[in-house]
Amino acid sequence: MISSTTALSPTTGPGQTAYGTVKAALMSYGTKMAATLGPEGIRVNTVIPGVILFDGSPMDQMRAVMPDMIDRIAAGSYLGRVGDPQEVANTVAFLGSPRASYITGTSLRVDGGIVKSVDFS
Active-site positions read: 19
Q: What share of the chain is helix, strand, coil (3-state, %, to 5)?
A: 50, 10, 40
Spatial separation of the C-alpha atoms in residues 71 and 113, rounded to whole Å: 15
**What is residue 45's DSSP assignment?**
E
Q: Strands 107-110 and 45-49, how do they pair?
A: parallel
**What is residue 57's DSSP assignment?**
S
Spatial separation of the C-alpha atoms in residues 121 and 119, rounded to whole Å: 6
